[in-house]
Structure 1
Amino acid sequence: MTETPSLVADGQEEVVARDGVLMTLAQATAASEERFRAGQEAAADGVPLSSLSGMDETTDAYADFKAGHEAPFKQEDWEVELAGNGQDLYGMARCGGSPDYFRIWGGTDHVNDCPSNDFSFNSLYFSGQRDPEVIWQLAYELVSIFNGASELFTFRSRKQTIRGIYFHGKRVRTREQARVISLLGRPCMHQFKWDEHMIKAMQMSARLGLLILATENEDIYMMLKYLGLESSWSNYYKLLETMETHAELKGMTIPGTKADRGRFTNNANNFSLVGYDARHGLKPLSDRENTVAAMTLEEAHAFITGRCKGYLNTVYPEYFKFQ
């Protein structure tokens, strides 16, 4: 709010002039905050300041509006409303203290004083962001990583989706998910602060720890992104090759037997066993009979996620000790 001379009469509330109108200090402060918030909301809606006409740039109202329009936004200004497995999120929200990488809340109908399936999250990646397009893409990416982490533990887990995004409680226009393949990277913070986030995440759920690690480690990122895709033989085969490549680059070997791998690859490659999802198309029948036992897709999921857990135990033993 622009500073203006104030008038104080004996025993009366302080009076200030705002755009030539005398009002109490409380009224002027409220008016200033209202215009500041209006500027923020215009920025969140993607309305450029230059497109706003009819505003006198010499007024206090315009100055407050512009300040709001140009102000950096905070993490808590944004809310991503989720739809999906509410029961799963209920357990996380009840634990309290979820890390700011994926801060979850909800699950309570305060009006009727009972549980609900309404959950939301925001993220420290939202801090300082002003463009709703960026918020949408960050939200899409974080939810995708979280879904992949859930699939590591549950076959065809019920996925979380984004119902809407809000800025200070006001819904912003929906944006389509972009085809972006890149790590979010570590936010600017001291190592001890990152350690606090990681400890808190692992105490709540290994999935949250995986989410944090996936923002800056390509191997875990690719693992979770593949797991977040449709459950299929071809996607599982790509995941197996990807994790084996990362292990080889690190000079390590993923635990597991050749027999188990052979049974999986034989099924994944065989059109006669898994149909159109096979890695190879229809081939001429061989005189040699296929003696490898058929494998269900759920069994394939168990094999692949077992290899992924073995990889995590081997490459990240300070965080994971899966059985």
Structure 2
Amino acid sequence: MDLTQTTTSTCSENEEETVERDGVRMTKAEAKDAAEERYNAGQVAAANGTAISELDAETEAYADFKAGYDSSFIQANWEVELTGNARDLYSLTQSGGMPDYFRVWGGIDDWNDCPSDRYSFNSLYFNGHHDPEVIWQYAYELVSLFNGASELFGIRSRKQVIREINFCGKPVQFKEQARVISLLGRPPMSPRKWTEHLGKAIQTSPRLTLLILGTENEDVYMMLKYLGFEPSWSNYYKLLETMETHAKLKGASVPGTAAARERFTNNANNFSLVGYDARHGLKPAGKKNTVSVMTIEQAHDYISGACKAYLNTVYPEYFKLQ
């Protein structure tokens, strides 16, 4: 065996090949890291709406920066940090596979290796968007639908609130919530993929099922919006009428007894019983009221029960709510 030849061959294989990048010699690994750094810098600049780099347009660094600046962003680039009911989000993350409509994670402090009350989410609605304004508005709407769904199962449920939004780990500029009243609509996907997302939601929580349906079905959307408002007689009355209207349009009716409905509407309409939150203002005294007084908590029980009955009737393939 020629030991000299073997040694020479081995040394040649271990020598790391170098390349030139903008006039500087570096290893291929270093060049790859430099290109990735400029690409990421371009993405961050685009996400923050800052001007494109002033680098020489003929350089490789500029080309990588612009590639990142012009790239289509993906869901995983974005993180919406939440503050609110951390315990609720913990139970949600333990319930099963999260659909990408509202993918929640957190509860672990990786740095200190201990539990944390910090949770975040992102959404497939974020795919392909550069503008933080768009991400903020999508985030506001998704959190609103989630909060409304939570209120269906308990009055004055602790709301989730957006703490900040990060792109690739760096915060983007805060944007105020816009006054928009419209459905988000179904994101581009096949019927099979949509069914897969909905199946995950059904396995995880009825609230996530409601959120998905609320992005493209006006009846569910309006239900969640009204539930997300501050509990009040007037809001509950509007919600009842809205659900009855949608049921009629679908050739159905909201299950329930006439006596229970009359008790609720009598209170909701009566200034002398519920004060300034009444659907009607002060009226001259008429015949004596014979319907028993309800608390706002009892009103919520009635309305949430009517909503659940509506969902069980109109969407029986998705709900069997008690």
Once residues 199 and 305 of structure 1 are traced to their aligned partners in structure 2, the CA distance between those partners, rounded to angstroms, is: 24
For 2:62 and 2:71, how far apart are their aligned partners in 1? Answer: 14
Structure 2 regions of 5+ residues with no counterpart? 1-10
Give CA deviations for 1:188-208 in whole Å, capped at 9, x if unaligned. 111111111111111111101
Q: Distance in 2 between matches of 1:175 and 1:162?
A: 11
Aligned to 1:138: 138
Partner of 2:39: 36
Q: Distance in 2 between matches of 1:97 and 1:125?
A: 18
Does residue 309 (structure 1) correspond to residue 311 (structure 2)? The answer is no
The farther-off stretch of 93-102 and 80-89 is 93-102
* Alignment equivalent of 1:27, drawn from 21, 30, 42: 30
Structure 1 residue 113: deviation in Å? 3.1
Q: Report the number of matched residues.
A: 311
- Once the 2 structures are TM-superposed, how far is the Cα of residue 238 of structure 1 from its aligned partner? 0.6
Q: Would you say 1:240 and 2:243 are equivalent positions?
A: no
Q: Does 1:12 align with 2:11?
A: no
- 1:321 partner amino acid: K
Distance in 1 between residues matched to 2:113 and 2:18, nearest whole Å: 44
Q: Secondary structure at the match of 1:22?
A: strand
**Alignment partner of 1:318 is 2:321:** no
Give the match for residue 290 of structure 2.
291
For 1:109 and 1:78, how far apart are their aligned partners in 2?
A: 19
Taking the TM superposition and a 5 Å limit, the aligned residue runs for 1:171-320 are 171-286=171-286, 288-320=287-319
Partner SS for 1:100: coil
Could you say what secondary structure the match of 2:94 adopts? Answer: helix
SS at match of 2:115: strand
Specify the SS of the correspondent of 2:101: helix
Deviates more, 1:226-235 or 1:11-20: 11-20
1:114 aligned partner:
114
**Which has the higher mean CA deviation after the structures are superposed, 311-320 or 110-119?**
110-119
Q: TM-score scaled by structure 2?
A: 0.94
- Structure 2 residue matching 1:82: 3-state secondary structure: strand
Contact 2:57 2:63 in 1 (8 A): yes
Which residue number corresponds to residue 6 of structure 2?
Answer: none
Partner secondary structure for residue 230 of structure 1? coil
What secondary structure, in the 3-state scheme, does the structure 2 residue paired with 1:211 have? helix
1:63 counterpart = 2:66 = no
- The CA deviation at 1:94 is 2.2
Deviations 1:2-40 (A, max 9, x none): xxxxxxx95532111111122111111111111100000
Find the aligned partners of 2:44 and 2:158 in 1 and give their Cα distance. Answer: 34
Report the Cα distance in structure 2 between the residues aligned to 1:110 and 1:311, rounded to whole angstroms.
Answer: 43
CA distance in 2, matches of 1:201, 1:14: 50
Deviation at 1:178, TM superposition (A): 0.4
Distance between the aligned counterparts of 1:140 and 1:70, measured in 2? Answer: 25
**Whole-Å separation in 1 of the counterparts to 2:72 and 2:147:** 30
Q: CA RMSD in A?
A: 1.3
Q: Deviations over 1:137-157 (max 9, x none)?
A: 000000000000000001110
Q: Which runs of 5+ in 1 are unaligned?
A: 1-8
Structure 2 CA distance for aligned equivalents of residues 82 and 18 of structure 1: 42
1:160 to 2:160 alignment:
yes
CA distance in 1, matches of 2:95, 2:321: 22
